[in-house]
Structure 1
Amino acid sequence: MVMKEIYIECRPETLFPYFTDPQKMVRWMGSQVLLEPKLGGSLRIDFNGRDMVAGHYVEVEPNERILFTWGWIGSDTIPPGSSTVEVLLYKQDNGTLLVLKHSGLPDPRSHKHLAGWNYYTARLKLVLLGIEPGPDTFAAPTTNEGD
């Protein structure tokens, strides 16, 4: 399992939509995003026109918790829906502790996903601090993350 914790100076109510609103998510992850944040709703993130993730929402507890499946379109190693991402938001002081747990990944791929979540949560924090994170260099179409 991959786990990432990051403290962001904003309320959970401010942070939550960045996982459920396509216009907000695309500011920190993906070039095109389809999100239907309800039980069974679709999740699709196109990073660069080649590397795309698909899954569906399993649980949505506003401002507290989101659980969705995750996998790479066209991958035999991590196909759509084969892993699970849980996002937990804990109010702390003047901000929120974001805890992200990504389970069901094959061991050889865990390090790549940890690097990805480190990169994208740092971009998310910048956006929430009002800083433009710049071009998404991590999503350069060189390799498919799943294979």
Structure 2
Amino acid sequence: MSDVLDLTARLDAPPATVYRALTEPEALRTWFAEHAEATPDRFAFWGRYTPQGEPGRQRLLVAETDRLLRFAWVLDGTETTVELRLAEAESGGTTLTLAQTGVPTMAELMEPAGRRDGLHTLHTFWPLAIARLAEYVEGRELTPACDFSPSRPAEIRIEVTVDGAPEEVFESLVDPKRIARWFGWEAEVEPRLGGRMALGADGRIFEFEPGRTLAYSDEEGAIVRWELAGSAGRTRLTFVQSGFPAGEPDNAAQHEAGWLGGLAELKRLHTLGESWRPLTTEPED
């Protein structure tokens, strides 16, 4: 079984700027991949920021300046097709639509077999990639890239800077409605020591200092910890998740990509305020 991954995003930059970011090697190496090559006849990317990041997995199919980029990408032995279309948005900027064939169905995603660093990663890989593309073309600080390499650490550690005081950012970590905006769905939260917290791990809060620290763990050994430090009206936010089973770095990578995409949206939420809208959307069923 296979499905098609469809995403749409609105970027505050003209199609020509977005197309250059998609097709110029130096730009690609900044926001997308550790290594990249792009010529009229070739489009390739590889390295530790790419799922199954060995070279030689892509093949250029179509490139239409400022409009379309289509390439084949082999993952888990399956050749998929990625299509990126650009159109000028009515309100200015660019509407980007992404479609990739051959991705797992939702049922397969919920019960993955074997490794998870190829096709099973795409639902978290692409939202993060689009978030970093938006940051690049809009001139904002890039959210860190995800490390998909086999030698990556077994835990997740991310540091980002968020516009807003620590107390404001902390509220976005414990208010279910705000969590739903940047993470994609509402979490269950009892904001107190010993309270329940279901966000990345479904467990109990064992550290709770508003504006400073939030930590919780589940019965299977997963631990999630948030630390906040403020300076000049901004917050340095450190996120750590540990407790992944030994020998499953690809599991940690898949989750890391998801967290990074969420944190990119958290940054947008605090930067844009009331004008915030989700960066990426999927078609409604």
Q: Is 1:40 paired with 2:204?
A: no
Residue 123 (structure 1) aligned to one of 265, 275, 282:
265
Give the greater-gyration-radius structure (CA). Answer: 2
- Does the CA-based 8 Å contact 1:36-1:43 persist in structure 2? yes
**Per-residue CA distance 1:107-131 (angstroms, 9 max, x = gap):** 3311112111111100111111122
Stretch of structure 1 that moved more, 102-111 or 7-16: 102-111
Report deviation, 1:102. Answer: 0.7
SS at match of 1:38: coil
> How far is the alpha carbon of 1:136 from its aligned partner?
5.8
Whether 2:168 is the aligned partner of 1:4: answer no
Partner SS state of residue 8, structure 1 = strand
Cα 1:105–1:128 shift into 2, 3 Å:
same
Aligned residue pair count: 122
Shift of 1:41: 1.0
Structure 2 vs 1, CA of residues 27 and 110 (structure 1 numbering), >3 Å: closer, same or farther? same
Instruction: Give 2:226's aligned amino acid.
Output: V
8 Å Cα contact 1:54-1:81 kept in structure 2:
no
Conserved 8 A contact 1:28-1:123: yes
SS in structure 1 opposite 2:269?
A: helix
Alignment partner, residue 83 of structure 1: 222
What secondary structure, in the 3-state scheme, does the structure 1 residue paired with 2:244 have? Answer: coil
Q: 1:65 maps to what in 2?
A: 213
What's the C-alpha RMSD, in Å, of the aligned pairs? Answer: 2.0
Distance 2:236 2:203 in 1: 24
Structure 2 residues not aligned, in runs of 5+:
1-154
Unaligned runs of 5+ in 1: 46-51, 71-79, 138-147
Q: CA 1:132/1:101 → structure 2, altered by over 3 Å: closer, same or farther?
A: same
Task: State the TM-score, normalized to the length of structure 1.
Answer: 0.73
Spell out, residue by residue over 1:15-55, the C-alpha distance to the aligned partner (whole angstroms, 9 max, x if none): 0011111121111114232100212211235xxxxxx8522
TM-score by length of structure 2 reads: 0.40
Counterpart residue type for residue 114 of structure 1:
E
Identity of aligned residues (%): 29
Flag the structure with more relative contact order, 1 or 2, with Cα contacts below 8 A and sequence separation at least 6: 1
Amino acid at match of 1:102: Q
For 1:36 and 1:89, locate their aligned partners in 2 and report how far apart those are by CA, in whole Å. 19
The equivalent residue for 1:104 is 243
Say if 2:205 is the partner of 1:15: no
Tell me which protein shows more helix as a share of its residues: 2
